[in-house]
Amino acid sequence: MIRTDVLVIGAGVAGFSFAIRMAEKRPDIKITVLTKTNEKESNTSYAQGGVAAVWDNDIDNFRKHIADTLDAGDGICDENIVEIVVREGPERVREIIDWGARFDKNKKGDYDLGREGGHSENRILHYKDITGWEIQRTLNEKAKLYPNIEFHEQYFAIDIITQHHLGRNVTRLTPDIECYGAYVFNKQSKETDTILAKVTVIATGGAGQVYKSTTNPAIATGDGIAMVYRAKGRVANMEFMQFHPTSLYNPAGETPSFLVSEAVRGFGGILKTTDGNEFMQKYDDRLSLAPRDIVARAIDNEMKLRGNEFEYLDCTHLDQEAFYNHFPNITDKCKSLGIDPAKDFIPVVPACHYTCGGIITDEMGRSSIIRLYAAGECTCSGLHGANRLASNSLLEGLVFADRIHQDISLKIDHWNLQNDIPEWDAEGTTEPMEMVLLTQSLKELKEIMSSYVGIVRTDVRLKRALDRLHLLYSETELLYNNTIISPQLCELRNLITIAYLITKAAQMRKESRGLHYNTDHPGQFEYKETTLM
Ligand code: FAD
Ligand code: SIN
């Protein structure tokens, strides 16, 4: 049994920036941070475009960033949360600059502000086209400076611990569910440890791996969202899975799909059909820089019209030296596939990219479970509504990490460890018989979600998906109850929960809004969030 003051599950921008702030404020308390792989692997590390913040007050202001976020969110953002994130954002970005994060500057020595879809001004701070790598590097180095941060790699959180583990009947209507820590599988020792904590912060990122084609790395299996849902916490808006319009089409297949940043369109890249014609004028006045839901649907539609596997992004007219300086990683990747952006159009296709729904949190990052907070992509904070505005995600992680550390600082001295928690019970379980039982189910799951619950949905497709998910669910629960635990099995189980939450929420929303587009319900009627009981 491991005892700690604060348990942080996840070491991306949200988890690690929270841990650093908490460690700085309270050098007397122990903060235990877990990652299920290593310090380099997170969605954060893959972020390309940058972090959105109102920076140049001559051209930009909070009102504009708020309006752009609300517009992308298509009517269901929480305006109070949008205001908080936008107003506090620049200060949080300044802090990570103080911690050592580098962002590109122009010849005048000012920050070079990029543009992305749905933004009315240039406000994206970036480090070339590998901004996330730079932020993760900064956080990894900074966290090592605090002796009260204990960092464990290769630790897989299985479930959070609540009164349920003390034998009490906990339902979604139980008002006072409390979190006492988590059961965690140590991938090196192959043992399941119990970590007791006064307070737990979930920062496990998104769930893009539920689809066949995604820009998300293998860690993005929605573990935190599934854990909270199993613990009877509140989860909402899971139907809003964001597809990025432009992942690089690679005929050989590639996991994850390589992203061609929206900042490339902000730099002047133009979407064209395979016949070489512009098409975005048919869909939105903002053309290639319309919000993501609109552009992804437009590309999907053009591909279906022509029976294509991709459309094109034309960058051949751009200043190639400036292009390479801003996008060296994207240029090198294209060239490795024989595509020279200076001469060739780049083949692009939409891919699942971001989980807008998740664990419901309030303005201080508190979940519906007492002593359980959540930050980053695993949350439904109210910032993104029905569609996230580009580059608002790193910002959200930074802002809520700060707010959570403020709230916990006020409360932690009033909380004690719950000491009578039983150890993990593996009795009656045996070694898995055949890995194919897991790998094939995972393939089926991704097929179901990609075919029936993708960019365009119908009632029939959603019903088909749910029918098939029920079978996968019962087969996997049987395996889970009889087999010795493994991260692969837990991830499959979590992804099935995520798939169920997405599909069920999509079925509940009898309208088309933001990222959820159902041809049987093309109008907009409802404004409420889809919380699953
Ligand atoms: P992550 O960074 O994903 O971190 C999750 C952490 O949780 C990891 O450490 C992981 O190991 C750990 N974890 C997960 N499950 C478990 C478990 N069961 N047990 C223990 N640990 C666990 N956003 C922007 O704002 N700007 C961009 O330019 C941008 N570009 C992007 C480009 C790509 C290709 C991708 C994929 C995303 C991009 N995003 C961007 C989105 C953004 O990167 C993510 O939303 C954000 O980084 C999520 O941060 P996070 O801290 O919530 O989670
Ligand atoms: C991108 O660079 O296009 C990704 C930005 C984001 O997802 O916010």
Which top CATH class is 436-532? Answer: mainly alpha
Q: Which ligand is nearest to the CA of 46?
A: 1
Give which of 305, 396, 295 is closest to 351, Cα–Cα.
295
Amino acid making up residue 165: H
**292, 366, 403, 513: the active-site residue:** 292
The alpha carbon dihedral of 441, 443, 446, 451 has a sign of negative
- Per-domain boundaries in the chain: 2-239+356-414, 247-348, 436-532
Whole-number pLDDT of residue 526: 67
Residues 2 and 11: their CA atoms lie apart, in Å, by 19
Please state which CATH number belongs to domain 2-239+356-414: 3.50.50.60
Give which of 193, 207, 226, 268 is closest to 423, Cα–Cα.
193
Residue 292 catalytic?
Answer: yes
Residue found by looking up tokens 């909070």 in the block: 62
CA gyration radius for the chain? 22
Whole-number pLDDT of residue 461: 97
Whole-number pLDDT of residue 418: 96
Contact 394 CB / ligand 1 (< 6 Å)? yes
Whole-number pLDDT of residue 268: 96
Whole-number pLDDT of residue 433: 73
Whole-number pLDDT of residue 39: 96
216 C-alpha to ligand 1 centroid (Å)? 8
460 C-alpha to ligand 2 centroid (Å)? 32
- Report in angstroms the alpha-carbon separations of 417 from 15, 413, 500: 21, 11, 34
Three-state DSSP string of 431-464: CCCCCHHHHHHHHHHHHHHHHHCCCCECHHHHHH
Whole-number pLDDT of residue 427: 81
- As averages over each run of 10 residues, the pLDDT of the chain (533 residues) reads 97 98 98 97 97 94 98 96 98 98 96 94 97 98 98 98 97 96 96 97 98 98 98 98 97 95 96 96 95 94 94 98 96 98 98 98 98 98 97 98 98 96 87 86 98 97 98 96 93 98 97 96 81 74
Name every protein residue with a CB atom under 6 angstroms from any ligand 2 atom: 48-49, 261-263, 354, 390-391, 393
Contact 156 CB / ligand 1 (< 6 Å)? yes
Three-state DSSP string of 223-289: HHHHHHHHCCCCEECCCCEEEEEEEECCCCCCCCCCECCHHHHHCCCEEECCCCCECHHHCCCCHHH
Contact 181 CB / ligand 1 (< 6 Å)? no
Which residues face 201 on adjacent strands? 8, 373
Q: Do the bridges between strand 235-236 and strand 358-360 make them parallel or antiparallel, or are there none, so unpaired?
A: antiparallel
Cα(first)–Cα(last) distance of the chain, in Å? 32
User: Which of 37, 38, 40, 44 has most ligand 1 atoms within 8 Å of CB, for mutation?
Assistant: 44
Which top CATH class is 247-348? Answer: alpha beta
Whole-number pLDDT of residue 525: 83
399 C-alpha to ligand 1 centroid (Å)? 15
Residues in the chain: 533
Burial of 191 (0-12, 13-18, 19+ CB in 10 A): exposed
307 C-alpha to ligand 2 centroid (Å)? 27
